[in-house]
Amino acid sequence: PIAYDYLVLISSPGSKKITSIKDLDNLDFVKVDGSAQRLAWNSLEHYDLNYNIKHRVNSQFDAFKLVKNSKNLHSFLNASYFNGNKILKFDTRHVISLVKVNDDDPKTDDFINYLLTKAQKDIENQGFIPMD
């Protein structure tokens, strides 16, 4: 692991303010395929909340544009890229990691060491939660 991230709720302009987890019941969402959103869907199911997937996209940026240009639409997106409601912050915290695939190049170890030490401040400046 090199950092943590979590999901924030992004809502259409003029949408009802979400102040409690129960406010998420029966809302309409944009799903981003291949993203960490499964953590949000699992959390909603854990809290026995219903939700409706109205649109599916391949990019968080497409989801953001769709939500911001619609009415009563929502999405859970990475906090490292987007500002939003932190209602499921602790339920959706996840690890950003890397997999070492080149054991032959010593520069790989140097880079990993850099990411885990000196780069942690830069990682934090990019919106992630550092490991330290």
Q: What is the pLDDT of residue 132?
A: 67
Q: Does residue 1 carry a pLDDT above 80?
A: yes
Q: Does residue 3 carry a pLDDT above 90?
A: no
Which CATH number among 3.40.190.290, 3.30.43.10, 3.40.50.1820, 1.10.600.10 corresponds to the domain 3-94? 3.40.190.290
Question: Could you give the C-alpha distances from 82 to 22, 68, 77, in angstroms and in order?
Answer: 23, 12, 7
Q: Does residue 130 carry a pLDDT above 80?
A: no
Using one digit for the tens of pLDDT, what is the confidence trace for 71-100?
Answer: 999 999 999 999 999 999 999 998 888 888
Single out the residue of 112, 96, 102, 103 nearest to residue 4, CA to CA. Answer: 96
Single out the residue of 15, 21, 10 nearest to residue 45, CA to CA. Answer: 21
Q: Reduced to 3 states, what is the DSSP secondary structure of residue 100?
A: coil
> What is the C-alpha separation between 130 and 1, in angstroms, rounded?
10
Q: What is the pLDDT of residue 99?
A: 85
Secondary structure element (H or E) that encloses residue 25, with its range: none
Which tokens go with 54? 């109205």
Mean pLDDT to the nearest integer, 8-30:
97
Mean pLDDT to the nearest integer, 21-45:
97
Name the pLDDT band for 53 (thresholds 50, 70, 90).
very high
Using one digit for the tens of pLDDT, what is the confidence trace for 62-73?
Answer: 999 999 999 999
β-bridge mates for residue 109, sequence order: none
